[in-house]
Amino acid sequence: MLKTSLLSGLFVATALLTSGAWAETVTVNGTGISVEANAAPIHAPVNPEAVAQIPKDHRFAVPGKFTVAVAALNSPPLTLFSDDNKTLQGSEVDIARLVADSLGLELNVVPTSWEDWPLGVSSGKYDAAITNVTVTKERKEKFDFATYRQDSLGFYVKSTSKITSLKKAEDIAGLRIIVGSGTNQEAILLAWDEANQKKGLKPFTPIYVKDDAAQTLALQSGRADAFFGPNVIGAWKAALTGQTKLVGSVDGGWPKAAHIAVTLKKGNGLVTPVNTALNGVIKSGEYDKVLNRWGEGIERLDRSEINPPGLGD
């Protein structure tokens, strides 16, 4: 009975977040977003400077294409499946297209899992991962980064929750919090928890789930007290359903700022042309068109940087 109930709840949550997203305009950060209208791609012209910077002997995963791993978590506005339930769209796919266009390549998006992209990029299976990856000190040991968006994290709770503020370490003591495994969000919570336990405070309990619908189910069923993740995802769900509310935000590089970046194999020479491509579309305006149509304009960067300081630096 419990298994049946949970599966039914998961189906309802999935239907609400997917069909609901397609059926109406969602207002996020003051921007009205139409998923149906946003299915039309935004293209960028070829950037000759970026093309010239591609190493002469570089071999792309698929010749003539820019193969990009995108975690298929169905987490709008970053990623969501189109109404055919096969094609990925969202701001991450749009950014990938701008880079591919600038490099004179065809975009090849590969839906994958969060756990798969590190090995896939390292092995050359993917040319890049564009899937809300934050720059961290540890990741820079294995990958090169070209930044494209600020990393803002949010704590969201059920709209009827008595929790009103989650902004610092002491606030999470004793709570059950949904967080992605291997993410910078998890690293922040673990650092906070370590500090709390040294003070004799109750430990927090991480709740790990595989996708957006499971997150929603865990929170609404009372199995979790809060969700901690990308603020744009939390803001979208809150606007769409009215079932959650923001109770605190944290920089992704806590205690400093950190940025989201295109992630590339370390030392293969692609980071410079990708960085040039990003700065080109920032200057020409296609970048702002992408962020603004997904309600992410508040997280824009003035320029893309290569391997800047991140979480842990």
Q: What is the dihedral of CA 196, 197, 198, 200, to 10 degrees?
A: 100
Whether 22 maps to a domain, the answer reads no
- CB 88 within 8 Å of CB 70: yes
Kind and range of the H or E run holding 188: helix 184-198
pLDDT of residue 24: 60
For residue 144, list its beta bridge partners. 264
What's the confidence (pLDDT) of residue 54? 99
Of 128, 234, 102, nearest to 180 by C-alpha is 234
Do 242 and 268 lie in one domain? The reply is: no
Domain that includes residue 188, residue range: 152-251
pLDDT at 5 over 70: no
Residue 19 reports pLDDT greater than 50: no
Domain end position, chosen among 251, 277, 308: 251
Residues 141 and 53 in one domain: yes
Task: Answer yes or no: is 220 within a domain.
Answer: yes
The Cα angle at residue 74 between residues 68 and 80, in degrees rounded to 5: 70
- What confidence score (pLDDT) does residue 7 get? 33
Among 47-51, 111-115, 252-256, the range with the most confident prediction by mean pLDDT is 47-51
Q: Are residues 265 and 186 in the same domain?
A: no
What are the start-end ranges of the H helices in 203-285?
Answer: 212-220, 231-241, 271-284
- Report the alpha-carbon distance of residue 9 to residue 218 in Å, rounded: 10
213 or 277, higher pLDDT: 277
Span of 70-84, 167-181, 215-229, 294-308 with lowest mean pLDDT: 70-84
**Pair (228, 268) in one structural domain:** no
Same domain, 199 and 231: yes
Same domain, 178 and 49: no
Token digits for 136?
Answer: 């961290």
Q: Residue 21: pLDDT above 80?
A: no
Q: What is the CATH number of the domain that holds 216?
A: 3.40.190.10
Tell me how far CA of residue 170 lies from CA of 2, 65, 228, in angstroms: 34, 48, 15
| pLDDT attached to residue 242 | 92
How confident is residue 11, by pLDDT bands cut at 50, 70 and 90?
A: very low
Is 202 part of any domain?
yes
Look at residue 212 in the predicted model and tell me its pLDDT.
Answer: 77
Give pTM, 2 decimals.
Answer: 0.87
Shortest CA distance to 246 belongs to which of 260, 226, 221? 226
For residue 220, the model assigns a pLDDT of 94
- Tell me, yes or no, whether 85 and 215 share the same domain: no
Mean pLDDT for 274-298 is 97
Distance, in Å, from the CA atom of 12 to the CA atom of 223, rounded to the nearest integer, reads: 17
Residues 35, 147 within the same domain? yes
Q: Please, which pLDDT band fits residue 82 given cuts at 50, 70 and 90?
A: confident
Say yes or no: 120 and 264 in one domain. Answer: yes
Per residue in 237-278, pLDDT (tens digit) is 999 889 999 999 999 999 999 999 999 999 999 999 999 999
pLDDT of amino acid 213? 83
Closest CA to 188 of 212, 171, 211, 165: 171
What's the pLDDT at 86?
A: 84
How many domains, in total, are found in the chain? Answer: 2
User: Above 80 in pLDDT, residue 147?
Assistant: yes
